[in-house]
Amino acid sequence: MTQEVAASIMIALAVVLLALAGWGWRNRRHRFAHLEAHLIRAVPSSLSVYECSGLYVATTVAGSPMDRVPVGPLSYRAKAQFSLHPEGLVISAQGESPVLLTAPTGIDAGAATWTIDRVVEPDGLVMIRWLLGDVAVDSYVRIVESDSQAFIDTINALKGNTST
């Protein structure tokens, strides 16, 4: 086999793999498309009780940290600003419109170590459980300039005080 034939086979294989990855992502987005209408894109008018910055990592089906929910600005990892209001948590990902995470009974937060394509030191991620429509989901964020435990405690202190 010549180098040209080997290179052609490798390029063809790379094109096929990229096409399959694109097809899979398109199918995943289609499977969760009905949830897009449930995103709340309005920022509450109430004063925030806690603000910090960090990284938005992913949103997954609750209890399944490998099952990404790709809807709107929650599809991709990004730098973000987090603003906690009595109504819920606002995630303002860089280059995207803000999204309000809320649930009728309040949002819950806890520490996590891993989710899709991200493993950090023990309890280095904050996992926020909330409702997107009627589907319970977990959103993962990484707080970089504040105390993540204070962020978790503030979210959990507001539980029961949120509204949709």
User: In the predicted model, what is the mean pLDDT of residues 9-14?
Assistant: 96
DSSP 55: E
Residues 81/116, Cβ–Cβ less than 8 Å: no
23-72 pLDDT per residue, tens: 988 888 888 888 888 898 888 999 999 999 999 999 999 988 888 999 98
Model pLDDT for residues 65-112, shown as the tens digit of each residue: 888 999 989 988 999 999 999 999 999 999 899 999 987 778 999 999
Contacts 24+ apart (CB under 8 A), 16-21: none
The larger pLDDT score, comparing residue 106 to residue 151, is at: 151
CA–CA separation, 121 and 71 (whole Å): 27
The DSSP string of 95-161 is TS--EEE--TT--EEEEESEETTEE-STT-EEEEEEEETTEEEEEEEEESSS-HHHHHHHHHHTTTS
Right CATH for 37-157 from 3.30.2090.10, 2.40.30.40, 2.40.50.140, 2.30.29.30: 2.30.29.30
Could you tell me the pLDDT band of residue 145, with boundaries at 50, 70 and 90? Answer: confident
Between CA 67 and CA 24 the distance in angstroms is 13
Query: SS3 of 61, please?
Result: strand
pLDDT for 118 beyond 80: no
